[in-house]
Structure 1
């Protein structure tokens, strides 16, 4: 039993290490200016789908991943977790995931100071480009919610649907930033892998906390 638990709790750390390694490789490519061909080709392909209807949808998705909606959705789920479900530990977990992701994004943007693309700008955005704040916020929020909601869904079909919806939202928000011309694809990919690493680390700490809490409650009272 102990070996099984140890193996289970090591999986998030493995995911975190792999995700951080991929992010580091992307960051090195960005710093050495070796990724422009990849970025330019993908930007050309994504923006080749431009149409009035597509632009309208992309603006909707990019709005969903912006600051106010992310904060609003986070607060709404925190209220549900705290009042209706009484899950204070899950509330703190989600807050740590979102806040940590935002802090990492701010620090790394200042470190890399990558200018935004100027190939074809459909929307306007301020600040530096790498890594994408929208992609990090989307991955942290919807990935964190998927982890928390998973155990409350009784059927396998429901869990699959939840994962698909979460993944679709994360991908659509990232794609919208490339489509609107305010981020390079490498900004989006870097944001995904960095926030994925952070989320996995938070999950590991959360699971370790629950494990220790369970052991504490299982000890006989003297």
Structure 2
């Protein structure tokens, strides 16, 4: 195994550890104060144009839209780049992230913010499903498309666009009043764990198979 792949494993474990820390402290006075201050700062930016932008990014982070985007990406990977094994990785990352979110929400059962909501959500709050889906979806897209982009400038643009979508989708949920910032942070951490661990495992299995074929 190459060092970079082992580094992914270590990063995934770090994300998992930090998620456990956030999950066990979101009811603390410090985190509650942090959440309120960040919410005030973000919602203090309220403006009709910003609200439209935030509603759009929140919309594309909904389950139906994520499924549609995923199907489009799957078709591109298969038809244009002729990737087949990678389709399995893409599917495992997305389905696993969704299942994790459902299980964690049911386990923690954290209520939504109640002091200022632009939209109404009725399920539990921690961790944010939109944020988990965003990091998983755009993270795995970035990983799979990276080697198909020959120019460094194109790769940088891919990373920037992915980061923008991930960050704004998470921020939109705070702006609209349906999540605490700690929900978003927790979502990024647990989704980051799952994404990096799955990629590491996928590469590990593929490299081991290649070594066996050479023997």
In the superposition, the TM-score normalised over structure 1's length comes to: 0.93
Tell me by how many angstroms 1:21 deviates.
Answer: 1.2
Contact 1:132 1:183 survives alignment (8 Å): yes
Instruction: State the superposition RMSD in angstroms.
Output: 1.2
Between structure 1 and structure 2, the one with the greater Rg is 1
Alignment of 1:1-222 (within 5 A): 5-32=1-28, 34-219=30-215
Shift of 1:215: 1.7
Q: CA offsets per residue over residues 104-161 of structure 1, 9 Å max, x none?
A: 0000101100000012111111200000000000000000100111111111111111
C-alpha offsets along residues 184-218 of structure 1, whole Å, 9 cap, x if unaligned?
00000000010000001111111112202322333
Instruction: Give a deviation string over 1:24-47, Cα, whole Å, max 9, x none.
Output: 111011254651100000000000
Q: Secondary structure at the match of 2:198?
A: helix
Q: Counterparts of 2:87 and 2:145 in 1: how far apart (Å)?
A: 12
Give ranges in structure 2 of 5+ residues lacking alignment.
none
Distance 2:110 2:75 in 1: 37
> Is the deviation greater in 152-161 or in 182-191?
152-161
Runs of 4+ more than 6 Å apart: none
Q: Hey, what's the Cα distance between the residues in 1 that align with 2:209 and 2:158? A: 28
Does the 8 Å CA contact 1:65/1:137 hold for their aligned counterparts?
yes
Question: Residue 58 of structure 1 contacts residue 179 of structure 1 at CA under 8 Å; is this kept in 2?
Answer: yes
Runs of 5+ unmatched residues, structure 1: none
